[in-house]
Amino acid sequence: MSIFSTEVFKGKHALVTGATGGIGYETAKGLSSMGADVTITGRKEDVLNDLKDEILNDFPDAKVNVAGADLADASNREKLVQSAENAFGPVSLLVISAGMTGGGVLEDLTQEELERVMHLNFTVPILLTQRLYDSMKKNKEGAVVNVSSLSGLRGTVGGTAYVGSKFALNGFTQSFALEAIEHNIRVNAVCPGFVDTKMGRDGIKSKGERHGNSFEEQLKIENESLPSGRISTPEDVANTILFLLTDAAENIVGEAVIISGGSLMR
């Protein structure tokens, strides 16, 4: 059940990166249900097309632009922006959901892997946002939500690359928020703990392997360790992102909103 009006974002253009992943996928659906024109991007165009079909099946009047891209590549990012603006005009709502895990314990971490994780999780969000910022400033409106992680607030074993990239993303979020709010553009981040996505399940599996547990055993441990009794769903995170994009969140600026079932209290 949606708590949002179907016309909240009418006339606005939203760009969702990482729309082929669970969080981005659900966020794109939510934005369409709230009236936004949506550009979706990711590396798997078949998944993007499935997402578009699902949106149009549920909301026949929705406007969805599919723009497949590898955001790690500068020319792909430029083509993405051009496709988005040609389809629906300037972007005023930006959700950076694309990201990757990677790395390992320090003695096994290579420079190549470190740079790959930092590039996609930290550098790319900055460069893409920078490309879209001018039009937001000219129109004096915008909202940006970066999908960070609980790992951007505390360290984990083997997390030098991934955790470092999310700490950096949170730092960018705060710094950019201070600059952007002067132009009526709000910038925030969400910091989920484990989420029931492929990336989240892979993380639970890896953690289980370190402790000699199966995936099912480790998932049970993770669920039972949370006050809420369960890890988050993609919809949990998407709903928070959608709220942060609305004017109802107009005094939430530069925050890192934790979505973890109360894990920090345990």
Residues identified as active-site: 162
Question: For residues 238 and 27, is the Cβ–Cβ distance under 8 A?
Answer: yes
Q: Give the span between the Cα atoms of 109 and 151, in whole angstroms.
A: 18
Run of H or E residues at 187: strand 185-192
Q: Cβ atoms within 10 A of the Cβ of 176, count?
A: 20
How many Å separate Cα 72 from the centre of its chain?
16
Beta-ladder partners of 40: 16, 66
Run of H or E residues at 192: strand 185-192
